[in-house]
Amino acid sequence: MKEETDYISHDCCAHHGHHHELVIENLSVAYREILALEGVNIATSCGNRVALIGPNGAGKSTLLKSIAGLVPRSSGEILWRGTSVKKWSREFAYLPQREEIDWSFPITVRGLVEMGRYPQTGWWRKFSLEDRKAVDHALDSLNLNDLQDRQIRELSGGQQQRAFLARSIAQEAHVLLLDEPFTGLDRNAALLLGDLLARLAAEGRLVIASHHDLVSAHELFDEVLVLNTKQVAFGSVAEVLTPNLISETFAVPL
Ligand SMILES: Nc1ncnc2c1ncn2[C@@H]1O[C@H](COP(=O)(O)OP(=O)(O)OP(=O)(O)O)[C@@H](O)[C@H]1O
């Protein structure tokens, strides 16, 4: 068992003492003339699950993409372990919203999870034993062994989410950037995903996810960043998700 888990580094926090591993300083992102995000300042560490909360168009997806290095910053800094994030790296796994994924794409669950190894192997190189073990471990840890030969399009929404998370595990990503992972899941699938994210965080990853349901945010996340183009609040769930703040941000009483 020990041997298997060695494929994932759990040392995310160990080398860094009390320092925050992800620091965002005064971040702004604009798409041409549209300001999507302004003045974001947060510091957080592996082991945390951070919810991004805010109305439609508040900049949640933009922040996830920006942390992943997929959209350029207009100003400010994103630091991962003290180094400026300017482009995508293997440390980050970004999962787009469901509707942005082409579910008709013919690929098996195992094939999808194998894609997590391509940043290491390149598309042309043969899979090493280590790559195969990493894929096996990822499938195993997300309970996808029995589904590995199935087509992605044939799975339920919850199973599809798990397949994408397994790809991130095979990639050995430390930061999981998830765009509305709970949307469209039934209660059981949502509970399963909630447990899974708790486990992935406990293993030393940083989970950052946009989320719409303020009630379940209390159980599913440790910290909350409330966005409305500008940063409204950041802190622990209990500190931040007060009825006053919610009605101010969403312009509706709870
Ligand atoms: N590729 C793009 N080009 C131009 N404008 C964009 C682009 N992507 C997002 N925007 C704009 O940036 C702002 C923030 O969008 P973003 O998708 O980050 O918000 P969101 O909080 O994720 O919204 P939702 O909850 O609806 O998914 C919006 O005004 C949006 O119209």
Global ipTM? 0.96
Q: Give how far Cα 33 sits from Cα of 67, 71, 175, 177, 236, Å.
A: 21, 15, 30, 26, 33
Asked whether residue 152 carries a pLDDT value surpassing 50, the answer given is yes
Confidence of residue 127 (pLDDT cuts 50, 70, 90): confident
Residue whose CB lies within 8 A of the most ligand 1 atoms, among 29, 33, 37, 60, for a mutation test: 60
- Residue 56 CB–ligand 1 contact under 6 Å: yes
Confidence of residue 246 (pLDDT cuts 50, 70, 90): confident
Q: Which atom of ligand 1 is nearest to the CA of 58?
A: 21
Ligand 1 centroid to residue 55 C-alpha, Å: 11
Q: Give how far Cα 196 sits from Cα of 68, 166, 249, Å.
A: 21, 11, 29
Q: How far apart are CA 76 and CA 93, in angstroms?
A: 22
Q: How far apart are CA 241 and CA 218, in angstroms?
A: 8
Q: Give how far Cα 131 sits from Cα of 7, 103, 110, 162, 217, Å.
A: 9, 25, 12, 19, 35
- Residue 244 CB–ligand 1 contact under 6 Å: no
Can you give the three-state secondary structure of 196-207, one letter per residue?
A: HHHHHHHCCCEE
Residues 95 and 181: beta-carbon distance below 8 Å = yes
Helix (H, G, I), strand (E, B) or coil at 208: strand
Domain 2-250 grouped into CATH 3.40.50.300: yes
Q: How far apart are CA 55 and CA 63, in angstroms?
A: 14
What is the average pLDDT across 36-45?
A: 97
Radius of gyration of the chain (CA): 18
Residue nearest ligand 1's atom 3 by CA: 31
Neighbour order of strands in the sheet with 223-228: 83-84, 75-80, 22-31, 34-44, 230-236, 223-228, 49-53, 206-210, 175-178, 92-95
pLDDT digits (tens, 9 = 90+) for 189-244: 899 999 999 999 999 999 999 999 888 999 999 999 999 999 999 999 999 988 88
Asked whether residue 45 carries a pLDDT value surpassing 80, the answer given is yes
The pTM score is 0.89
Least confidently predicted of 59-73, 115-129, 201-215: 115-129
Domain borders along the chain are: 2-250
